[in-house]
Homo-oligomer: A and B are copies of this chain.
Amino acid sequence: MMEKWFVGVDIGGTTIKMAFVTGEGEIISKWEIPTNTANGGTEIPEDIAEAIRQKSAELGESVDHLQAIGVGAPGFINMDTGFIYQAVNIGWKDFALKDLLEKETGLPVTVDNDANIAALGEMWRGSGDGARDLLCVTLGTGVGGGIVANGQILNGANGMAGEIGHNTVIAEGGMPCNCGKTGCLETVASATGIKRLAMNALADGSPSTLADLLEQHGAISSKEVFEAAELGDEVAQSVVHEVCFHLGLALANLANALNPAKIVVGGGVSKAGQHLLDPLESEFRRFALPRVAEGAEFKIATLGNDAGVIGGAWIAKQLS
């Protein structure tokens, strides 16, 4: 009997990433379709179902080869029912994603938060390396989090667990955040936040290689900020210090509570690699309890854009 495959689906504001994945977490085939936000996103379940049929046909496989679908979605989700209360980027409001997708595909569907499935992907097949206690932080346009404790993803009382990007790191006078609060971790440690800090640091005209990059390309990436800091640029170093101080302190406080074996850092900002991890770990170790710091290993996420679809397949596998 042929081993069945799982379908991992990672729904973003622009594209929907999809993959057929084996029970061991190996990707058989992966592809993307555009996110159709017309009509309040109501056509998305049909689009996903059609994409699954097409890809199966293309691979010469029957849809019977598929066991279940695991979906990561943005927004506020009821994980038990797969109901999306609201996902602003997609246009969904009170949208029965699980039911609709089950109807369109005839397959069992399970839905979780996009940051959570990325954390599960890293736990299963990425740098989490099977750790049963894992803290994942994604530094992208925003800051997302996923927490695995006792081998399970934490969803919390109403699906909000892992929202560490909105931990307050500057209690008074912080920058406004998209969530309506101010001084959230996301305002300083996201790609957007880091670029803003760099632009502010350059505003007084201090000499910096970042000023040259800005002049040449009209923009600075967070990776360039970390590289310039490593090469001794003082403006870049001050920005890196500010980012790593706040992020390191926030992660240390979470680690005292969760005592993770791995802290996995992903998202666009993590492309800075060791230039990010070295100063980050040094701040973390100032603030974490020594035994907590001993127990925690920092890792850059290794699955990149595949984390979501692999984590989607993992939650689909839990259905069987």
Partner of A249, one of B76, B171, B290: B171
Residues of A285-310 at the interface with B, using a CB-CB cut-off of 8 Å, are 287, 289-292, 294-296
A154 & B160 in contact (Cβ 8 Å cutoff) = no
- B166 x A259 contact (CB < 8 A): no
Chain B residue numbers with a CB within 8 Å of A290 are 180
Interchain CA distance A149-B289 in the complex, whole Å: 22
Q: Check if B249 sits within 8 Å of A164, measured CB to CB.
A: no
Q: Report, as a range, how many residues of chain A touch the other chain.
A: 35 or more
Whether A160 pairs with B295 at a CB distance below 8 angstroms is yes
The answer to the question of A141 belonging to the interface, with a C-beta cut-off of 8 Å to chain B, is: no
Are B253 and A156 closer than 8 Å at their CB atoms? no
Copies in the complex: 2
Q: Do A292 and B163 touch across chains, with their CB atoms under 8 A apart?
A: yes
The verdict on A1 contacting chain B, using a C-beta distance below 8 Å, is no
A159 within 8 A of B: yes
| A166–B289 CB distance below 8 A | yes
What's the least CB distance linking A127 to chain B, in Å? 15
Contact partners of A149 in chain B: CB under 8 A: 149-150, 152, 154, 156, 161
Residues of B within 8 A of A294 (CB): 158
User: Are A252 and B168 touching (Cβ within 8 A)?
Assistant: yes
Residues of A within 8 A of B (CB): 76, 131-133, 145, 147, 149-150, 152, 154-164, 166-168, 171, 179-181, 245, 249-250, 252-254, 256-261, 287, 289-292, 294-296
Query: Given A160-B259, A167-B252, list of 12 further CB < 8 A pairs?
Result: A133-B156, A145-B257, A149-B149, A149-B152, A154-B257, A156-B295, A158-B291, A161-B258, A161-B259, A166-B256, A167-B257, A171-B287
